[in-house]
Amino acid sequence: MEFSIENALRKYFAKTIGTEGKSKFLRFVQDEDTNDVPEHTLNYSRGKICYEKDGKTYFSQNLFLKLMNDTASARIHEVKVPKGLQTVIFLNELFFYTSMKPFFDSFRKMDDLLVPFNYTSIEGTFESNFGILIFDDMKTKEFVSWTKQYLDYDHLALLLRKIGQFHAYSFQAKKKNPATFFRFGEFFIDSMGAGVSFSKTWMQNHLKTTIKYLYNDSRYDLPLKTLDEILENLPNFYRNITNLDNDNEMVVLAHQACKSENILFRYENDKLTDLKILDWQTCRLTSLATDIITVLYLEASQQMREKKWDSLIDEYYAGLNQVFTDNDIPSRDAIREEIETRLPYLLVILTQKFLKQKTDITHQLTEIIKDLLQRLINRKV
């Protein structure tokens, strides 16, 4: 049978709703309101299954679909994505939900961190691949996207606590069943690396104009030299800073894209009560610092970093200690040191933030680079 969304939904229907007595799949009714569906390499859709049972017409709960159609090259923002990477991205998330999550669930259910996952179907040939992932539509459960430029402290704190809780599963797995954890970890393919060469060119071009005046300030001589060397060898640097040995205590399954566009928030009486983390296609085994750095630099303002840096790291550490009582986790000071050591990683991920902005990025980029340089000075690099 030729792959199509309808055929995939028919299979899903047969395994779920269709098992309840005599019922017949009629059609998929797409939600017309898709304004809050994020732009991405994968296509998104939401809607309900219309079906017939005992002569009456019914509708399923709202579903959220992620579709993969890897028949041609695509683009992530301005970066050309070679044919095949969409398959990698899709398979990473597929493997997360069908293998790694059940493995983590064997220690303790982690459903409060994730959007409920229902079904997947994937078919392919050497020339092309097609796939679908089906989730609950959290829009109908009062979860919403963040629309402002930066997260405030409450949102940052909750997000970092949740990331800490997620990383706690890696430490539990390393303690209870390390062989399976690292074997599963090998299945995740690095999808972030495809944009590193573009990040190098983009950063070099922008820094020539953005922080040109800093090259005349002798205080920044050494860190700027370090920065230039990192950028010149960014692909190799990226591999060295993200590929960790299994015996490194900082290794976790990291999300690697914990940005507000991949988070849904829920409120009661205008008070933040919960969040769900989406889009697990970039996850891989690497340093826990990559997720923390992503949040601190892509979602926090410079003022927030200056005033609440330690407090936000404490929020992460609290989450790391919250899920399991018997984990062997690094000390708070060791984690702070790890973050400082991996900070240049942000040179790879800054394009994720600024490529989408249509306004002038000079001030924001300058603040971030100066922050990085000052922290390099403090480390006496």
Could you tell me if 363 and 206 are in contact, meaning their C-beta atoms sit under 8 angstroms apart? no
- Give the pair of three-digit tokens for residue 281: 């296609």
d(CA 245, CA 162): 25
**What does the pLDDT read at residue 127?**
46
**What does the pLDDT read at residue 80?**
45
Checking DSSP bridges between strand 251-254 and strand 43-53, what pairing results, if any? Answer: unpaired
pLDDT in tens, 298-350: 999 999 999 999 999 999 999 999 999 999 999 999 999 999 999 988 888 88
Size (the chain), residues = 381
d(CA 17, CA 259): 34
Q: How many domains does the chain have?
A: 2
Q: 42 and 186 in one domain? A: no
Mean pLDDT of the chain: 85
CATH code, domain with 240: 3.90.1200
Q: 166 and 104 in one domain? A: no
| Residue where one domain finishes, among candidates 135, 157, 190 | 135
Say whether 70 sits in a helix, a strand or coil: coil
pLDDT in tens, 258-288: 999 899 999 999 999 999 998 898 999 999 9
Asked if the model's pLDDT at residue 69 lies above 70, the reply is no
Place of tokens 């394009």: 351
Q: 174 and 118 in one domain? A: no
Q: 117 and 154 in one domain? A: no
The predicted model gives 250-259 an average pLDDT of 95
Say whether 247 sits in a helix, a strand or coil: coil
pTM of the model: 0.88
| Residue where one domain finishes, among candidates 116, 135, 154 | 135
Tell me what percent of the residues of the chain surpass a pLDDT of 90.
Answer: 43
Place of tokens 């569906």: 37
**What does the pLDDT read at residue 162?**
97
47 vs 1, higher pLDDT: 47
Q: 100 and 149 in one domain? A: no
Asked if the model's pLDDT at residue 85 lies above 90, the reply is no
pLDDT in tens, 19-58: 766 788 999 888 876 545 444 445 678 889 999 988 899 9
Q: 207 and 253 in one domain? A: yes
| Residue where one domain finishes, among candidates 78, 110, 135 | 135
CA of residue 84 relative to chain centroid, distance:
20
Q: 190 and 335 in one domain? A: yes
Q: 77 and 156 in one domain? A: no
Q: Per-residue confidence at 154, pLDDT binned at 50, 70, 90? A: very high
Q: 198 and 62 in one domain? A: no
Task: Note down the domain range covering 115.
Answer: 5-135
Q: Which range (113-127, 191-205, 225-239, 258-272) has the least confidence?
A: 113-127
**What does the pLDDT read at residue 352?**
74
Q: Which range (75-79, 89-93, 120-124) has the least confidence?
A: 75-79
57 vs 376, higher pLDDT: 57
Q: Per-residue confidence at 101, pLDDT binned at 50, 70, 90? A: very high
Tell me what percent of the residues of the chain surpass a pLDDT of 70.
Answer: 87
Q: 121 and 20 in one domain? A: yes
DSSP assignment of 293-309, as one string? Answer: HHHHHHTS-HHHHHHHH
Could you tell me if 24 and 54 are in contact, meaning their C-beta atoms sit under 8 angstroms apart? no
Question: Of 117, 108, 104, nearest to 63 (Cα)?
Answer: 117
Q: 152 and 102 in one domain? A: no
Q: 192 and 109 in one domain? A: no
The predicted model gives 242-247 an average pLDDT of 92
DSSP assignment of 87-147, as one string? Answer: HHHHHHHHHIIIIIHHHHHTTS--GGGBPPEEEEEEEE-SS-EEEEEEEE-GGGGTEE---
**What does the pLDDT read at residue 217?**
83
Burial profile 62-100: b = 16 or more Cβ within 10 angstroms, e = fewer: bbbbbebbbeeebebeebebeeebbbbbbbbbbbbbeeb
d(CA 374, CA 217): 13
